[in-house]
């Protein structure tokens, strides 16, 4: 992340020396204030969802959901901690409903619990990142809404292709992570032997 960010920022600023040097600081402050208003909005969204999440937990639905998704999570993450499993189950369910923002607090929580403090991402963390980044989504509601506003006659006819595409990317993501995790474990083992 450090490298990517450095390249993006320094590269862009160098470029802007030609285009429009006076607007560099303005752009930065605009972006930051945009981030602030996004955060205020997120705060409201999170308050609702974290309130609901607390209810899901307190009523025991969280545990039920985790038990339901247990075989899947067990296979994907290879973890043995019911609390983390519950967080991942809720995170995945929210993602499937297209509630990315609701999924975030649970995702962050799950990440915290998966972290082993070594500074390197664990295989389970990578799996969670990739699953969230490829996002199985059953209802692309925002996109459909935008399309309807733009005057589409059949705004919902993108649901089927979206479902197929999202299933493909998610499957590919999971397979690649499994493959890389396996390779990485092997390389690490070899390194340890030497």
Of the pair 68, 172, the CB lying nearest other proteins is at 172
How many Cβ atoms from other residues are within 10 Å of residue 63's Cβ?
Answer: 16
The pair of structure tokens assigned to 65 is 């959901």
192 in contact with other proteins (CB under 8 A): no
Q: Give the residue among 194, 164, 74 at the shortest CA–CA distance from 127.
A: 74
Which 120-159 positions form the footprint of other proteins (CB under 8 A)?
Answer: 120-121, 125-126, 128-130, 132-135, 137, 139-144, 146-147, 150-155, 157-158
Which 24-83 positions form the footprint of other proteins (CB under 8 A)?
Answer: 24, 27-28, 30-32, 34-36, 38-40, 42-44, 46-48, 50-56, 58-61
Cβ neighbours of residue 95 under 8 Å, at least 6 residues apart?
Answer: 103, 131, 132, 135, 136, 137
Shortest spacing between CB 86 and other proteins, in angstroms: 14
How many Cβ atoms from other residues are within 10 Å of residue 132's Cβ?
Answer: 19
The pair of structure tokens assigned to 21 is 């040097």
Quick one: which of 74, 75, 112, 186 contacts other proteins (CB under 8 A)?
Answer: 112
Shortest spacing between CB 45 and other proteins, in angstroms: 8
Tell me the number of residues near other proteins by CB under 8 A: 99
């Amino acid at each position: 992340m450090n490298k990517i960010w450095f390249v993006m920022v320094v590269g862009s600023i160098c470029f802007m020396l030609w285009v429009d040097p006076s607007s560099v600081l303005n752009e930065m402050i605009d972006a930051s204030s945009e981030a602030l208003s996004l955060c205020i909005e997120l705060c409201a969204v999170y308050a609702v969802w974290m309130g609901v999440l607390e209810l899901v937990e307190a009523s025991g639905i969280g545990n039920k959901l985790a038990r339901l998704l247990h075989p899947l999570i067990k296979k994907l993450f290879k973890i043995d901690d019911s609390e983390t499993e519950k967080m991942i189950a809720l995170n995945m369910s929210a993602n499937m409903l297209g509630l990315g923002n609701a999924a975030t607090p649970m995702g962050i929580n799950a990440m915290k619990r998966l972290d082993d403090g070594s500074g390197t991402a664990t295989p389970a963390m990578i799996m969670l990142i990739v699953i969230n980044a490829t996002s199985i989504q059953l209802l692309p509601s925002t996109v459909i809404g935008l399309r309807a506003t733009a005057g589409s006659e059949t705004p919902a006819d993108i649901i089927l292709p979206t479902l197929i595409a999202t299933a493909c990317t998610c499957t590919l993501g999971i397979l690649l992570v499994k493959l890389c995790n396996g390779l990485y474990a092997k390389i690490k083992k070899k390194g340890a032997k030497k």
